[in-house]
Amino acid sequence: MTSTTDLIPAPRALDGPLRCGFVFDERTALWAGPGTGSTERWLRSVLGPALDLPLPPGPEDSPQAVRLRVDDTLEPEAYRLAVSATWGVEIRGGDPAGVFWGAQTLRQLLGPEAFRRAPVRPGMRYGIPHQTVEDAPRFRWRGLLLDVARHFMPKDGVLRYLDLMAAHKLNVLHLHLTDDQGWRIEIKRHPKLTETGSWRSRTRLGHRASPLWDERPHGGFYTQDDIREIVAYAAQRHISVVPEIDVPGHSQAAIAAYPELGNTDVIDTTALPVWDTWGINPNVLAPTDTTLRFYEGVFEEVLELFPADAAAFSAFVHIGGDECPKDQWRRSPAAQARIKELGLAGEDELQAWFVGHFDRWLAARGRRLIGWDEILEGGLAPGAAVSSWRGYAGGIAAARAGHDVVMCPEQQVYLDHRQAAGEDEPVPIGYVRTLEDVYRFEPVPPQLTAEEAGHVLGTQANVWTEVLEDHARVDYQTFPRLAAFAEVAWSALPTPAERDFADFERRMTAHYARLDALGVAYRPPGGPKPWQRRPGILGRPIDGAPPNR
C-alpha cells in the first residue's frame, strides 16, 4: 500500500489519507459509465491480472465497486479519485482521458505489485486508505520523443514505452521515423524506402569522432499494420502519436533509396549509402517538383496511418526542418534556378518555401505542420508550430510571432545527455543533466507575457539514440529522469528554485519499486551498475552549466 504523498506526478490537492479504507478482493466489481470504456478495459486487462482479480461488472450503487464516470464539470484531463470504506472507489474525469489518468493514480496507490503482469502473492488483498485526490495537468502537450531512426526499436519496445508514458501521465509520443541513418515506416508506393533505406551496413560506436565500429548490419522498419497497431494502442491510453518525416535535411536514407531526390547536378547521388555515422549530413533533398511530388505521396500514406481523430494532438505532423546545410543548394544550378524563379532572397528562403509548401499541403487536409525551430529561418508559414530545441530562443520568437510552441531545449531535456560527471557514465554526451536538474526545468520562459505564454502548448523530453543501441540503454538514459520531467509537465510546481527536490527524491524511493516491477533498467541513484557502463567508447561530454537561453 502506497501513501498519497508518494504519488508521481504530484497531485494538485488531496484530502487524507485516513486509517479506514477500501479493500480490493474477489467481491470488487467494476462499474463503467458512458465514455469510460478505455479505462474499464485497461483496468481489467492490466490491473486485474496483477492483483489476481476478475473485476466483473457490478451495480453502480455497490459499496464493493470501482465506479468510473465522466463529469463535464471538471476540466479536460482532470480527475477526482475518492476512496471510502462504505461506498468503494469512484473516479470522475472531465473527459475520458481524465478518467484514465485517475486510474493511473489508483494503480500507484495499490503499490508496486500493481505494476506487474501477474500476481507475485496470490490471495493477497490490497487496501487503500480513505482519501480524495483532485488533480489536473498544467500542460496539454506532455511529450516524449523516441528516435527509432538512428537505432531501430522493434514494435514491442514502442508499445512498452507507451505503457511507461501512460504510467507517468504523458500524452504525446513524438515518433522520429526517418533520418540519414534509416527509414523506419513502410510506404507502399515507394518500396525502396524500406528495402534499401531501412538498413545500414555498419554503425559508428559512440560519438562521430570515435574510431570504433560495429560491423554488423543494422536495420528494421514498421509495416503499415505495425503503425496502425501502435497508433491504436496509444489511443487506448489517451496518447497522441505525432510522426516525424524529416525534410529537407536528414534525408540520406531516402536519397540512398531514390537517388533522384538528391542534388544530382552537384553530387553523384547513386553512390550514397544509408549513412553509418552521426552528425550533420551535407546530402539534402533537391528543391524540385520531383521531390515535392514524392513526399506528397509519402505524406498521403502517413496521414492514412496516423488519422486525425479525437486525440488531442493527432492532427500534427512533424516535418523536421532542422540542420539542413545549404552548400549543395548554393552549388546547384537547379536550386539557384528555383530561387530565381520564385523570387527568393537566398537559400534560407528556399527552405522556408519548402516548409511552406508542406504547411499548405497539410492544412488543406485538416492537419497542422510542426517542425524544429530552424523552420523560423527565412519566414514561417502562419499555421505552423515550433519544437524549440536549440534552447529557449526559438520558442520565444515563435510565441511572440503568434505560433504555438513545444518547449524541448536540448540543454535541459535531451535525455541522451549524461546524468553525472563520473567516468563510469556510459558514452557521455553533452552537459550533465541530473535528476534534480530536470526537476528544476521550467518550460515557460519568464520573458513571455501571459498572452505569449498561452502559445506554449507544453513540453517534451527527447531521447535521441545515436549512442543508445538497445532498450536497456534507452531505459538507462530515460529513467529516472522521465519521472521528474513528467512531474514538471503535469504538476503545478513553484518556481524552479523553490521546488522541493528533497520531497521528490523521497517519493522516488517508492517509485523505484514501481520501475523495478515494470522491468525498467533505470540509472540507479548511486551510479551505473557494472553492466550498464561502456568503457572505452568515446562520447562528447561538455563541461560547465548549460546556457539558459
Is residue 508 a contact partner of residue 479, using CB atoms and an 8 Å limit?
A: no
| Cis peptide preceding 287, ω within 30 of 0 | no
DSSP reduced 3-state for 113: helix
Q: What angle do CA 490, 523, 520 make, to 5 degrees?
A: 70
| Amino acid making up residue 534 | R
The gap from C-alpha 263 to its chain's centroid, in whole angstroms, comes to 33
Q: Is the peptide bond before 480 cis (omega within 30 degrees of 0)?
A: yes
Whether 323 is catalytic is yes
Residue 501, CA atoms < 13 Å, CB-side half-sphere: 15
Per DSSP, what are the bridge partners of residue 386?
A: 371, 405
CA of residue 126 relative to chain centroid, distance = 32
> By the 8 A CB rule, do 401 and 447 touch?
no
Residue 355 in grid coordinates: 516548409
Residue 265 neighbours by CB distance under 10 Å: 15
**Cell numbers found for residue 129:** 486508505
347 is annotated as an active-site residue: no
From residue 1, alpha-carbon distances to 106, 113, 155, 163 in Å are: 11, 9, 33, 22
The active-site residue out of 168, 174, 238, 250 is 250
d(CA 110, CA 126): 6
Distance of CA 124 to the CA centre of its chain: 36
At residue 273, φ and ψ (nearest 5 deg) are -90, 175
Residue length of the chain: 549
Please report the DSSP string for 218-286 in residue order. EE--B-HHHHHHHHHHHHHTT-EEEEEEEESSS-HHHHHH-GGGB-TTTS-GGG-----S-S--S--B-
Is 469 a residue of the active site? no
Among 52, 163, 301, 323, the one annotated catalytic: 323
What are the φ/ψ torsions at residue 146 (nearest 5 degrees)? -110, 120
Looking at residue 47, the DSSP 8-state letter turns out to be I
Q: How far apart are the first and last CA of the chain?
A: 43
Identify the CA nearest to 13 among candidates 105, 69, 74, 80. 80
Residue 216's CB is within 10 A of a number of other CB atoms, namely 8
Contact 176, 113 (CB under 8 A): no
Q: Which of 40, 77, 179, 244 is catalytic?
A: 179
Degrees (nearest 5) of the Cα angle 314, 319, 323?
145
DSSP 68: E
Active site residues per annotation = 179, 250, 323
